[in-house]
Every structure is written in structure tokens, then in C-alpha cells.
A and B are shown apart, each in its own frame.
Chain A
Amino acid sequence: MKTVINNYIREEMFPNMWCPGCGNGIVLGAIIRAIDDLSWDKDKIVAVSGIGCSSRITGYVDFCTMNTTHGRALPFATGIKMANPDLKVIVVMGDGDCSAIGGNHFIHAARRNIDLTAIIINNMIYGMTGGQYSPLTPTGKYGSTAPYGNIDQSFDLVELAIAAGASYVARGTVYNPRQSTSLIKNALDKKGFSVVEIISDCPVSYGKMNKMKSPADMLKWIKDITVSKKVWEGFSPDEKKGKYAIGEFLSKDRPDYTELYEEIIKKAQERGGNK
């Protein structure tokens, strides 16, 4: 059966390399539906990713695509967007990719408020390399490098993105694909740096090591640990422990970096600068 998805994928790349039950396909579907809703020209879309299971998304979509180095997708995307601001640049990262090795790039892309859409598929683990703990693995959970439980405190990407200066920040889950599609659509449509974290499942690594053997177990778990932003706001600090708020957290209008640089060009051409 052909669906809207078929208009946007490289069919020769399928079947994909993801494990059965992986949430990446749900996110891929959400991204494609969001783009289709916006009726964007495929020739003007660039999708950039780093390294990891989630980053393989760029190989499956029929845009200009780039599977770059680990953690560096955002600076590559920054160069593309600066060089040609007419391009719509989407960056897909995993949790380790974005928040560990790429953490500094993430906060600086947000600080610059450059017009990119960052989609972080957060399965709370390094899936491709065999289930090592990431900066988004919850404290106390297990990983192949945390055989006695993770003692690290995890990042809250939503708070990090807001503090660093992003224009749009949201969180969805693979249990709520319709909501995730609409959050991604809003993010794509927003000028400036937009961040959407999608909580996802890795039954093979995370699930196996944390007593959730089937994909369905993991999806139920994701349902249990997430609450709407509104409910979250009424929670006591104790109730918030181990839970994630989902929804839209920030949407503000601020000039993006490429617009500001156009002003620099004007200034340089009119006045000659301070040299």
C-alpha cells in the first residue's frame, strides 16, 4: 500500500536497518507527515544527522541528506544554513549524539538561535554500540556500562534548550505519534532554533537491561512516565520524580542568526566597519 510516506523515502534503502520494535520508524513517519503538511519543496530541504541508529534516518529520506560525524550534525547544518538561508535544514540526532559528544554544539546552536530544526530521538541509551548509558539515561537505570545502575544525573533537554536560547522547545513520545507530528510541524515552521525531543524506545538495549523485554512493554512504560505539561505543572516535586512532561514548552519570536547576519552585510557595505 502506497501512502504519503512513499513520496518522501528512498525506497531502495528499505528494509531499514532498525531492530523490530524500534521507535525510530515512528519518528521518521512523524517527520515526513509534518513536512507533507507544510508542502515544502523537496529540493530545498536538507536533512543532516550525526552518528547512531537514529542518524540513519537521513539515508532513508529523499532530500539533500547528510550523515555526518558523531555529535557534529549541528555545526555542519550551521554551515549549510549560513551559506544558503533559503534551504530548510532539519537535524536529527540521538540522545548521546546530541547531549554528550555534541552537547557543546547543541547549546551554541541554541544560543545563536540559527534557523534549524533539531529533532532528538531520545531512547535514553547508546543503542548502536550495544546499550551504554548516555547523558539522558535516568539515574538508577541500567546500561552495558552501568551494570550496577547509573549514578549520573541526566540532562533535561527541554530545560537545557530553553536556557541556551532556543526559539521553540517541545517534547513528544513515540507513544503519541500524532502529537509528535504536530510538534515537529510547529518546530519546522518556526524561525530560529527549534528543538523537539521525542522519547523513544530501544527494546533491544534499554528494554532488555531494564526489565522491559518487548516493544509493547517499552511503549507502556513511555506512556506511564510521561504526563502533559499541564498536569506536570500541578505536580509536587516528589510527583515529578521519574516523570517527563510532554507538549510545547516555548514558542517565541526572535530574529534568527542568518537574518542578523544579513544586517551585518548591510552594515559592512554601508559603513565599512570599525577598522
Chain B
Amino acid sequence: MNNLEKKKNIKLLQGNEACAEGALLAGVRFFAGYPITPSSEIAENMAFKLPKIGGKFIQMEDEIASMAAVIGASIAGLKSLTATSGPGMCLKQENLGFAIINEIPCVVVNAQRGGPSTGLPTKPSQGDMMQARWGTHGDHPIIALAPSTVNEILTLTIKAFNLSEKYRIPVILLLDEVIAHMREKVEIPAPEDIEVINRKKPTVPPEEYLPFKPDEDGVPPMANFGEGYRYHITGLIHDHKGLPTSNSQEIDAFIRRLHNKIQKSIKDIIIYQKYSLDDANIALIAYGSVARAAERTVKLAREEGLKVGLLKLLTIWPFCFEEVNKLAQQVDLIIVPEMNLGQMVLEVERAAQGKCRVVPYGRVDGELINPIEILGKIREEIRK
């Protein structure tokens, strides 16, 4: 049977269900979480499905503990996932830093709701974009992805696990309440059609293993606990052996390597999509559920003869600096619609380096930004 004859596996899935589906396809075998709207369905799906394939689910006493358990399970060899929303994401920051400094692969979903604090539990927001970048303390790298459709939730969840395993870094998947809860047609790929990346293992015997000595790509091979490689993991800055160091040269090299391993592979990590940008003199830059509206705006604007295009960001962090810089040289105006009062627009401004006008369009009333209002904003800015 060739690919054309193969029956497609198409399902109507909720965003959170698609996330669980994607995680399973990526090889997740452990989930620890704590109930919170609008992410709970991910935990519910995991509780149901993981034991069926011999995986483990545990509901912890809070999100701090969930993050800790996820890291522990990953070190013991299982691909691990947790999911939460704003208030829980705040609690995860402490141990997210531990995962970063010890280069422990894991995926953290944040189904964004309005904030600050308890905020708007059942309404969407994109208010956590900067928290995703800088939420945990210290100078650290991070990878964050933001799907805009239910189908993308599935594919980017797989991508999140792959990046996490490949670069030994926690990956944050930023959903928002709209795409987490909406239902859409999803094509579930066959396992043989999916690329699944697993952490690289040491090739040296235990007595020669240096757990934090990087290969050329900046990423050290990872031995799981229990595999005969006895070593130390600590939240303190550590040397190649994993033991605490206060040597300033080692400290500097360590922090720089954490950043460089991501920078070096930025082309592999950054994904975006372009819509009608070839001849555009006005660009929209959007992500998450707002990118759906922006895509529609492009069609409406084109019907009016306006040369509008869209750059849809799928990787949020690291930011696609080069692509935006190029775009700023091409267009006269960039509008950044987002469900906050201007977060990613700051990065866009930085990348544009004054080469074109950059305008934010924010909404924080718990309602999704619609295509007509973005079009209105375009018209308003043209008149200026």
C-alpha cells in the first residue's frame, strides 16, 4: 500500500486533546500536573492514555512539585510533560530554572489565560510571552513555541519534544484559551511518518563519562540515572563533572555554552510561515490564535487592493531576529496584533532597527482579536 492509498487518520479534536495526542506520538511516558483551567484536559487525557501504553501519570500537590517530578522522571529516562496556565506557570518557574541549568529535556505547556493573578480563568490571553522568555531568574536560554491551530498544536508538541531532547533544554508550548479549547479537524500522522528525536547517550564507559562536557554542538550526551553512569546533578553552577564550581572561567564558559548551544542551531529551532509577503508593503506579525485572525485580515485587505502580508511566528523564543530585520527593510509598516498591551512588538521593534514603522495593536479584554479590527487598524495607520 503506498502513501496515496493509505487511509488518513482524521479526527475532530480539542486543542488540549491534540496536545496529548502529539505528546504520545513524540514518545511521552510521564506526566505530572495539577488541575488548572484552561489546561486540565491535557492532564485528563494523559491520566487515561498513559497507563494504556505502560506510561505513568501522577497528580502532584501543586505545580512546583509537578515540575520537579517531571524533571526527576526525565533524568530517570522517560520523556516527560506537564501542563498548566498562568498562576501555575508562575509556580513552575523555580524548577524550570533547575531543568535549564541541568539541561534536562521536558516540555511545559502553558495554556494562557488572562492575568495578572487569577485574572480571567476561562478567557484567552497572550500575556505570558515575556514570562516564557524571562520567567525564571538568571541569564538563561529557553525555547518557546506557539501554535495557532489545533493541527499545529499536535505537530508543535512533537516538535517541542524533539527540540527538547536534541538540545537538552525545557521547551515551553504556549497555547491560549481559544486554541486550547476549540475543536478542529486534525490529521493524525502515522507513527512511521513522524520524526522522533531522542537524547543522545554517552558512547564512553562510565569511568570516562563527563556528564556536562559538551560535544561540538554544545550539547553534552545524557546518561539516565540507573544506567550505570553515576554522576551528580546540582542547581549550582557546575563543571564538566557536574560538581559545583566557583572558578570564574568555568562559570563564564558554562553560562555562555547554555546560550550558544541554542544560538548555534537557531536555524533548526526557528520556524515561521509567510503569507502573501512577496510583494507586501505592510506586514502583520502574529502568533497563536491571533495569527488566525491576521491571516483572514490579509485576504480582506488584498480584496481592497492593499498589499498586506503576514509573518506567522511558530517559534517565539529564540526570536526570529534576522527574518524580521529583512522584512523591515522590505515593508513600510509592521503591525503586531497581540492579546496583550505590547510584548512581542518590543522584539519586533528591536529587530526592525528603525528601518520601518512598527505599531502595536493590543487587546486585553479577554476577547479574541478579530480580522475586521486588524483591518481597521491597517486603514487607520495608512491614513497617518
Contacts and interface: CB of A to CB of B under 8 A. Distances in A.
Nearest to A72: B68
Interface in B234-265: 234-236, 243-244
B225 A72 contact: no
Interface string B49-80: 00110101010111011101111111111101
Given A67-B235, A76-B71, A82 B54 contact: no
Given A76-B71, A275-B48, A69 B94 contact: yes
B82 to A, nearest CB: 10
B40 to A, nearest CB: 14
Contact of A105 (B58, B61, B75): B61
Contacts of B243: 10, 12-13, 59
Contacts of B74: 79, 83
B95 interface: yes
B52 A268 contact: yes
A272 B52 CA distance: 8
Interface stretch (A42-50, A147-155, A238-246): A42-50
A12 B245 CA distance: 13
A157 to B, nearest CB: 18
A75 interface: yes
Nearest to B49: A268
Interface stretch (A19-27, A174-182, A224-232, A259-267): A259-267
Interface string A98-109: 000000110010
Given A78-B72, A79-B70, A84 B226 contact: yes
A64 B62 contact: no
Contacts, number: 145
A238 B228 CA distance: 53
A83 B56 contact: yes
A58 interface: yes
Interface string B22-58: 0000000110100000000000000010011010101
Interface of A: 10, 12-13, 42-44, 46, 48, 51, 58-59, 62-69, 72, 74-84, 86-87, 104-105, 108, 261, 264-265, 267-269, 272-273, 275
Residue among A64, A67, A68 facing the most chain B CB atoms (10 A cut-off): A64
Contact of B225 (A10, A46, A67): A46
B233 interface: yes
Given A78-B60, A80-B73, A43 B226 contact: yes
A178 B18 CA distance: 56
B68 A79 contact: yes
Contacts of B229: 64
B225 to A, nearest CB: 4
A76 B72 contact: yes
